[in-house]
Structures are given as C-alpha cells and as structure tokens.
Amino acid sequence: MIRRLAFAGLLAASAAGLAGPSLAQSMSPMRGEVTSFTDAFAVRVFPANPYERPIGVDVRVYDQDFAPVAASVMPGSFTLAAGASRSVLVVVPFAGTSVRKIRICTESVPFPDNQTRIRAQICGKFIASRR
C-alpha cells in the first residue's frame, strides 16, 4: 500500500495546430516528486479536453528515454467529453531501484469518423524515491 504520495500541481499545454482559436490538450500536474515507503509509487494526473468535441484518450507510462514501462493505469483508455477533465491513477513499481524517473503521457486517439488523424501527445515528468 502506498503510504505517502506527494506531487506539485502545474497545468501546462501542448500546442496543437487548429484553425481558429488555438486550443491545446492538457494534463495536470506536469512535474512531480514522489516519496514511497513500498516497492511501488502512485501519481494522480488529470487529462483535460479543451475542444468542443469528445476525444478518445490513452494514458501511457514511459521511462525517461520513452521506452514503455509496466504500470497500472486506472483508467488507461477512455472518452473525454468536450471541456472535461478526469482523474487517472498511475501505479508504478520501482523495479529494484531506489529512484525512478518516468513520463506519464496523455495521448488523444482520433475517432474513426474524423478526417483528422493527428494523435496528440503531452507528457509530464515525475521522479520517485523509495525510502
């Protein structure tokens, strides 16, 4: 069980080329430091959809070099309503290390009926220490 979870909240955005006003998919927090007393740590992030239409979203975890990391992401894939945000819990094992650097990425998934096939990605950087 995770005893302590700490991270700083910071809202940031990724630029997306859109006609008209510039809107950007976002995720908060974008950076954080976590201390855990167990063999895993948790981070809660909040992907947001600023667009006027729903978007499909995948939340994925990578190491600092963008190699996939085995992690529990709840929920990992979902539809995000227009103008909405939701909570996602990410639990990552330390995998035998005392410090782990990861990137949590929110990736928008184009719907099949959309003409645009752009898959936007925004990532936050997190450092976890095991005590």
The answer as to whether 4 is a domain residue is no
Q: How far apart are the first and last CA of the chain?
A: 14
Q: Does residue 2 sit within a domain?
A: no
What domain range is 121 assigned to? 12-130
Number of domains the chain is built from: 1
Q: For residue 126, tell me if it sits in a domain.
A: yes
CATH number, domain with residue 63: 2.60.40.10
Do 15 and 76 contact (CB within 8 A), yes or no?
no
5 in a domain, yes or no?
A: no
Token pair listed for 119: 């898959």
Among the listed residues 99, 5, 96, the one whose alpha carbon sits nearest the alpha carbon of residue 43: 5
pTM for the structure as a whole: 0.76
Cis, peptide link before residue 21, omega less than 30° from 0: no
Residues of the chain with pLDDT under 50: 1-22
- Is the residue at 95 inside a domain? yes
Model pLDDT, residue 42: 97
